[in-house]
Amino acid sequence: MAFIHDDYKTILSNNLNEVTYNLLGGQVPLANSNIRVMITALSKVQYLQYNFLDYVSLQCCPSTASNEYLDYWASLKGLTRKAAGKASGVVSFTGTAGSSIPAGTVLVAEDGETYTTDTLSIVGENVGITAVNSGSEGNQEANTTLTLQSAVAGIDNTVILSNAITTGSDIETDESLRTRTLAAFATQTTGDTRQEHINWALAVPGVTQAWVPYSPIAGTECVFYVMLDRTNEYLGYPQGTDGSASQETRYTTASGDQLTIANALYKNKPYTEIQIVCSPKRTDIDFTISGLSAATATVQASIKTAIQNVLHDQGTPLGTNITLASIESAIEGVTGTTSFTLTAPTANIVLTTGELPEVGNVTFA
């Protein structure tokens, strides 16, 4: 809870009144007098002390703590702030057959981000590349052109990134860490609860949402549905194939983003558990709205955003049932809407396990 105190002007006024009526018999000190200067200086110190107490009071509780104090609260539950992650991907060089590309070869993207090759490779062979700098700035769209910083004999100067890079992530924000910390304090630590599994997934850099079914699909097979940053070009859907970690020999190995997450989970998994990391299946829902064909483009865009927010808030890969009433209520909340009718879909949005709803085509009839 915050420490409640007056603002600086109120403190100054109170102190000035205190001196005026209790020390000077009602005579207001002159603006440039020594006593007026002292009142002003002491009022500033008093205000700063109150602000310090306010700051301290906020750090005394994990729900309001920030920066290094929030890190301390998180550490009490064994959590650490997710560090910025380096983006990584795969390319294949072209050039003279048999020519080799040394490990550490530097590539520069169109936006200036730099990458290095992970291992020695030859023309036509897939090789991993990793961003030099950590953070989401290292993410790239598919078909981005990368250029060799220095020429390599027998190797073409440019290479096309066939698959997008989405694994780069920024250092975790206070808001995200606070949410995980409060969830950890609210969870009874037993080592095998469903909520703890969700917490493990959310602790992986880049993961922003995670769901775990209420029971294993078979024996010890535990499924994790995960999503990345919703603002990327794929709306946060992991790019790769579902499966388990590289060291897990009892199940199909994942690839791409799913493999990165599975490998991060593997080191702390329960001994007998088989962890399967999956991307939800994107399921587009088309909408038809009558009565708003004359609405401005801004209003129509706001309606689409409002519908998308409902789908993102209520959608879950564990089974979704979104009522038409909640969609209509969201549309009504958009400034500029008057009379309208939601003509499609005609029934509640019901999706099966593994599916996640997204806005498809929105037609204003």
pLDDT tens digits for range 210-222: 999 998 888 889 9
- Over 90: is that where the pLDDT of 11 sits? yes
Residues 314-359 pLDDT 10s: 999 999 999 999 999 999 999 888 789 999 999 999 999 999 999 9
Instruction: Give yes or no: residues 344 and 264 share one domain.
Output: no
Residues 183-236 pLDDT 10s: 888 876 666 788 889 999 999 999 999 999 998 888 889 999 999 998 888 999
DSSP notation for 303-354: HHHHHHHHHHHH--TT-EEE-HHHHHHHHHTSTT--S-EEEES-S-EEE-TT
CA distance 235 to 161: 20
Instruction: Give yes or no: residues 216 and 239 share one domain.
Output: yes
pLDDT over 90, % of the chain = 76
Instruction: Give yes or no: residues 289 and 342 share one domain.
Output: yes
CA distance 206 to 239: 13
Structure tokens at 5: 């105190």
pLDDT, position 72: 96
pLDDT, position 204: 93
Residues 282-323 pLDDT 10s: 999 999 999 998 889 999 999 999 999 999 999 999 999 999
Residue 315 placed within a domain: yes
Q: How sure is the predictor about 167, in pLDDT bands with cuts at 50, 70 and 90?
A: confident
Q: How many distinct structural domains can be found in the chain?
A: 4
pLDDT, position 321: 95
- Over 70: is that where the pLDDT of 105 sits? yes
pLDDT, position 232: 85
Instruction: Give yes or no: residues 195 and 271 share one domain.
Output: yes
Range of the domain at 301: 282-364
Residue 92 placed within a domain: yes
Residues contacting 136, CB < 8 A, separation 6+? 87, 168, 169, 170, 229
Decide which of 252, 278, 304 is a domain's last residue. 278
pLDDT, position 133: 93
Decide which of 217, 249, 278 is a domain's last residue. 278
Instruction: Give yes or no: residues 251 and 311 share one domain.
Output: no
Residue 72 placed within a domain: no
pLDDT, position 246: 96
pLDDT, position 150: 93
- Over 80: is that where the pLDDT of 174 sits? yes
pLDDT, position 182: 93
- Mean pLDDT for the stretch of residues 90-115: 94
Q: What's the chain's average pLDDT?
A: 92
pLDDT, position 191: 63
Residue 148 placed within a domain: yes
Residues 241-267 pLDDT 10s: 999 999 999 999 999 999 999 999 998
DSSP notation for 123-161: TTSEEEEEESS-SGGG-B-TTEEEEESS--TTB-SEEEE
Instruction: Give yes or no: residues 205 and 147 share one domain.
Output: no
Instruction: Give yes or no: residues 317 and 330 share one domain.
Output: yes
Its pTM surpasses 0.95:
no
Structure tokens at 59: 């750090």
Residue 262 placed within a domain: yes
- Mean pLDDT for the stretch of residues 75-100: 92
- Over 70: is that where the pLDDT of 2 sits? no
Residues 20-39 pLDDT 10s: 888 888 888 888 888 899 99
